[in-house]
Structure 1
Amino acid sequence: MGIGGEPHQTDIFDDINDVDLLRLLLADLHDDLPGRLARFRQLTDLSAALGPGGTLMPGGETTYNAWSEARTSFVHGNYIATVMLCQGLAEHLLAAHLELMLGGEPLPHRIKFKDTLERCIFHQTITEADAADLRRLMDFRNPLSHYRNISDPQNLSRRVLNSQRAAGHHLLNDASFAISMAVRLLALPSFRLSGRSILDEDV
C-alpha cells in the first residue's frame, strides 16, 4: 500500500488509470505553483514590449512552435529547454527574415549563426548590442548542446563549483535571459506590428 493506504504501482508494467495520472499531474503542478506563477508574470510583463498588433514570425512553423514551446518551458521551469528553444528561435527568425528581404543575397544552404548576425547588422535589422547579447545566448546554449568537460568554464558543474550557487540558480538566470532576448527580437521594428492596417490610414 502507498501513502494513506492507497495502492502503489508495484511493477513498471502495472496498469495506471486516468485518476492516478491526474493525481500525479496535480501533484507536479502543486510542487512549484508559486514559481510557475512568478515566471508567468515575468513573461507577461516582458511581452508588453510586443506590438499591439502582434508580431511577424519569418521561418514558418519552426519559428512559431519554438516561440510557443519556449514560453511553456519557461513557465514550467524547463530551463535548458528554454535556452535551446530561444536560440533556435533566433536563428530561424533572423535567417528567414534575411531570405525574405527584397533584393537580398541568397543565403548559404546551411548558414552559420555568426554569419546571420553579421548580415542582420549590415541590413540594420539588429544593432551591435543586439548581436553581442545573441552571442551571449549562443554561449549559454553551446555547453548544453555540446559536451564540455568540467575544466571548461562554461560547464554547468564548473559554474556551480566556482560560484557555490546551485545549478538551478544558474539555469533560471540563463533561461530568464534567453526568454527576454526572444521577446526583444520579436519586438524589433522589423517584426513588431503596430495594429494599424492600410484601412486605418487617413484618405
Structure 2
Amino acid sequence: MSREDWQEDLFSDLTELDLVRYIMADTHNDLHGKVARLRQITDLGRELGLNGTMIFGAAASLAWEEARSSFVHGNFVSTVLLCQSMAEQLLAAFLCNGLMENDLPRRVDFKETLKRCYDNGILSEQDTQDLKKLMNLRNPLSHFRHIDDDSSVERRFLNQKEPIQEFMRRDAQFAIGLATRILSKNPFRVD
C-alpha cells in the first residue's frame, strides 16, 4: 500500500509523524500522575503472591489487564467498569470451574455469585460489601440515572463539591485496590 493509499484509508490528511506527535503529547499529559499510578499498581501487585495469581476465565483475565492499563493512563471510568467486570467474571468462573458447582445458572446474577462465594468461604463479609459498593459505582456509569437520583454520577460529585476527575480517580483507586484484594485471596493467589 502506498503512502497516499494509506492516507485515503484513514479519511484524514494527518501523516504518520503527525499521529506520533499526538501520541507523544498524550503520553506526556499527566506524566507525573501516570508514573504515580504505575507505582501504585506495582505496589499493589506485591499482594498477589510470589508467583502472581491464577485468573479463572479469559474475560476476567483481559478485564484485569485492561483495568491496570486504564488506571495508569487515567481512564478512571474504564477502571471502575473493568474491575467490576473482572470480579464478576472471575468469581463466577471460579464457582463454575474451580468448585465444580453443577447448579450454577448459565447466566448467574452477580448478587447470586457473591452469595455463593460468601457461603463457600471465598469472600468475607467485608469483601461482599465492598463488591456490592463497586457494583453500585459501576451501575450509574453503565445505566442512565437522572441527576435527581442519589446514585447518579452528577449528583454524587455535586454533593461532594469537588472536580469530577478527582472524584472518579478515588472511585478507580477503590476499584483497583479491591480487585487486587480479591485476586490475592487463597483460591487465586499462587505462592
TM-score normalised by structure 1 residue count: 0.86
**SS of 2:50's equivalent?**
coil
**Within-5 A mapping of 1:32-111:** 32-59=30-57, 61-102=58-99, 104-111=101-108
Provide the rounded CA distance (Å) in 1 between the counterparts of 2:71 and 2:158. 25
What residue number does 1:19 align with?
A: 17
In the alignment, residue 70 of structure 2 is paired with which amino acid?
S
> Which structure features the higher share of helix residues?
2
Could you give the per-residue CA deviations for residues 140-166 of structure 1, whole angstroms, max 9, x where no partner exists? 000000000000112111122212101
In the alignment, residue 83 of structure 1 is paired with which amino acid?
V
TM-score normalised by structure 2 residue count: 0.92
| Unaligned residue ranges in structure 1 (runs of 5+) | 1-11, 195-203
From the superposition, tell whether residues 186 and 36 of structure 1 become closer, same or farther in structure 2 (CA, over 3 Å).
same
Match of 1:150 among 128, 144, 147: 147
**SS of 1:15's equivalent?**
coil
What residue number does 2:177 align with?
A: 180
Provide the rounded CA distance (Å) in 2 between the counterparts of 1:102 and 1:151. 43
Provide the rounded CA distance (Å) in 1 between the counterparts of 2:127 and 2:68. 21
Aligned CA RMSD, in angstroms, stands at 1.3
Provide the rounded CA distance (Å) in 2 between the counterparts of 1:103 and 1:163. 44
Provide the rounded CA distance (Å) in 2 between the counterparts of 1:35 and 1:53. 28
Provide the rounded CA distance (Å) in 2 between the counterparts of 1:161 and 1:182. 27
Provide the rounded CA distance (Å) in 1 between the counterparts of 2:178 and 2:12. 45
**SS of 1:124's equivalent?**
coil
Could you give the per-residue CA deviations for residues 49-84 of structure 1, whole angstroms, max 9, x where no partner exists? 00111211111x211110100000000000000000
- Shift of the alpha carbon at 1:100? 1.5
- Shift of the alpha carbon at 1:13? 4.5
What residue number does 2:3 align with?
A: none
From the superposition, tell whether residues 72 and 102 of structure 1 become closer, same or farther in structure 2 (CA, over 3 Å).
closer
Match of 1:169 among 155, 160, 166: 166
The yes-or-no answer on 1:114 pairing with 2:111 is yes
From the superposition, tell whether residues 102 and 72 of structure 1 become closer, same or farther in structure 2 (CA, over 3 Å).
closer
| Unaligned residue ranges in structure 2 (runs of 5+) | 1-9
Match of 2:27 among 13, 26, 29: 29
From the superposition, tell whether residues 105 and 14 of structure 1 become closer, same or farther in structure 2 (CA, over 3 Å).
closer
